[in-house]
Amino acid sequence: MGALCDFCGEQRSMVYCRSDAASLCLSCDRNVHSANALSRRHTRTLLCDRCASQPAMVRCLVENASLCQNCDWNGHSAGSSAAGHKRQTINCYSGCPSSSELSKIWTFVSDIPNVAPEPNCEQGISMMSISDSGVSNQDNAAGDSSLLDIASATLMSDLGTAGKPKSLIGSSSEAGVNLLPLATDQMAGSVDSTSAKVPYTADQDMFSKDSIYEDFCVDDVDLSFENYEELFGTSHIQTEQLFDDAGIDSYFESKEIPSGNSDEQPKLMQPVTSNAVSADSGMSIPGAKDYQDCGVSPVLLMGEPPWHPPGPEGSFAGATRDDAITRYKEKKKRRKFDKKIRYASRKARADVRKRVKGRFVKAGEAYDYDPLCETRSY
DNA sequence: ACCCGCCGGTGCGCCACAGACTTGG
DNA sequence: ATCCAAGTCTGTGGCGCACCGGCGG
């Protein structure tokens, strides 16, 4: 069963907020993120069905499960029996959507509980719009159906084949609910190319609407980060490899990857710069610290999991790669890419604490930086 | 080939303080 | 064994500085 809400500790957590590093029930999500303009900008997404501790990034249509990147990779890695499963991206959102609006964002979730509207958010909801989805559904009769257009999530192959995916970030009205498509890996063989470019609508419910949470359960194991590798095997290391110095550039290149499905045409990997999220986070590779903002790891931005056997025109040979991996691992020891917020309350305090040259100052003393209003006391 | 200065990327320490944790009665 | 108070420790984010490697002169 999924974890309880980090905020109320009573309801089942359903969404994950990267900014707060918190799993929240929908009620608390609305309460917490209606507090102020900044919190409304927090991007949230569904919680991973499998590990229940990380933000889900893709929806496996076969398993009816929302998966975080690690669970996705572990479950659908090349060579596994599930490698060919169709998956689609899961959009994250910001603002204060109602339960009905969320149900449009995530059409595959059938048990979104009703959430009382937050007075602070009324305006935001009414202004909600998506103006530049790139995937439209003009036929949708629902009044605020613009949500659904994107929402429903783009088939993964859309991202893989679209020439220039448009950024959704910033396209919506200021106070509205922003839907932020999660970038995905276009894992070889994972998508049936014949189904690409078919905008998903509620009428095309190609996958069961049975509760995705009916099997929302994981073994009773500690899912803390401490035993991450124990739980997820090699994925952590694989992630590390991504930032391999020599490998970075190669991932920026468009390259063909071998398909796990022999019937498919090889897919071109998209350059990172085409990814919507990169624009949002201002992320720079390899110093990507901001990848967590929308639940998008740089790994996904790179397209292909780095441990995937390089294509014929792979940019580096095995020995060079090994060297680079070794170098990266040495660097990794000194870095904190995987910083995990252990105490959200402390983070919340630090986020609003006044500073002088970056250092916290005593309450009431002069400061030169106030995170809340960016004013100076002198 | 070697040295030097410049530049950008990166890591680390600092700060206050709430809350978690430990210890002793 | 349990409770409580007091003391100690931890972790949080932005900034400045030091360090490092790459590059050009």
Q: For the ranges A24-38, A56-70, A198-212, which has the lowest average pLDDT?
A: A198-212
% of residues, chain A, pLDDT over 90: 0
* Contacts of residue A90, Cβ cutoff 8 Å, sequence gap at least 6: A45, A46, A56, A57, A58, A59, A66, A106, A153, A182
Asked if A189 contacts A263 with a C-beta cutoff of 8 angstroms, the reply is no
What pLDDT does A35 receive? 65
The nucleotide lying nearest A343 (C-alpha to C1') is C11
Does residue A19 lie in a domain region?
yes
CA A160 vs CA A193, A200, A238, A251, A373: distances in Å: 9, 16, 22, 14, 41
Q: Indicate if CB(A334) is under 7 A from strand B.
A: yes
Q: Does strand B come within 7 Å of the CB of A326?
A: no
Residue at A41 is within a domain: yes
Cβ of A282 near strand B (distance < 7 A): no
- Predicted confidence at residue A371, as pLDDT, reads 75
The answer to whether strand B lies under 7 Å from the CB of residue A346 is yes
| Lowest-confidence segment of A30-34, A90-94, A290-294, A372-376 by average pLDDT | A290-294
pLDDT tens readout for residues A120-142: 443 333 333 222 333 333 333 33
Q: Count how many domains chain A has.
A: 2
Q: What share of chain A is helix, strand, coil (3-state, %, to 5)?
A: 30, 10, 60
For residue A32, give the CATH number of its domain: 3.30.160.60
Give the β-pairing of A355-356 and A267-268: unpaired
| Strand B atom within 7 Å of A224 CB | no
pLDDT band with cut points at 50, 70 and 90 for residue A38: low
**pLDDT > 70? residue A315:** no
Instruction: Please report whether residue A2 resides in a domain.
Output: yes
How much is the average pLDDT of A40-63? 80
CA of residue A351 to C1' of nucleotide B16, angstroms: 13
**Bridge pairing between strands A91-93 and A179-181:** antiparallel
A232 closest CA partner among A77, A86, A20: A77
Q: Are A34 and A59 members of one domain?
A: no
A29 lies in the same domain as A70: no
In this structure, is the CB of residue A339 within 7 Å of any atom belonging to strand C?
A: yes
Rounded Cα gap, residues A56 and A22, in angstroms = 13
**In this predicted structure, what is the pLDDT of residue A36?**
63
Whether A342 CB is under 7 Å from strand C:
yes
Sign of the Cα torsion A165, A68, A236, A297 reads positive
Does one domain contain both A70 and A30? no
Q: Are residues A36 and A76 in the same domain?
A: no
What tens digit of pLDDT does each residue of A274-311 get? 333 333 333 333 333 333 333 333 333 333 333 333 33
Task: Evaluate if residue A32 carries a pLDDT over 60.
Answer: yes
Give the range of the structural domain holding residue A13, as residue numbers without chain letter.
1-46
In a domain, A22, yes or no: yes
**For residue range A15-25, what is the model confidence (pLDDT) as tens digits?**
887 766 677 78
Tell me what pLDDT residue A128 has: 32
CB A295 within 8 A of CB A66: no
Residue A195 has pLDDT above 50, yes or no: no
Among the three residues A63, A89, A115, which one is the final residue of a domain in this structure? A89
Helix (H, G, I), strand (E, B) or coil at A313: coil
Is A366 within a domain? Answer: no
Cβ atoms A243, A234 nearer than 8 A: no
The helix (H) or strand (E) run that includes residue A180 is strand A179-181
Res. A212: pLDDT tops 50: no
Bases of strand B lying below 7 A from some protein CB: 9-20
**Pairwise pLDDT comparison (A152 vs A111), residue with the higher score:** A111
A145-174 pLDDT, tens per residue?
A: 333 333 333 333 333 333 333 333 333 333
Looking at mean pLDDT, say which of A1-5, A51-55, A261-265, A286-290 comes out highest. A51-55
Domain-embedded: residue A24: yes
Sole residue written with tokens 């100076």: A376
**DSSP states along A220-249:** S---SGGGHHHHHTTHHHHHHHHT-HHHHH
What DSSP state is assigned to residue A97? Answer: -
| Predicted local distance difference test score (pLDDT) of residue A86 | 79
Taking only the tens place, the pLDDT of each residue in A345-373 is: 888 888 888 888 888 888 888 888 887 77
Does residue A100 form part of some domain?
A: no
Q: Is pLDDT above 50 for A27?
A: yes
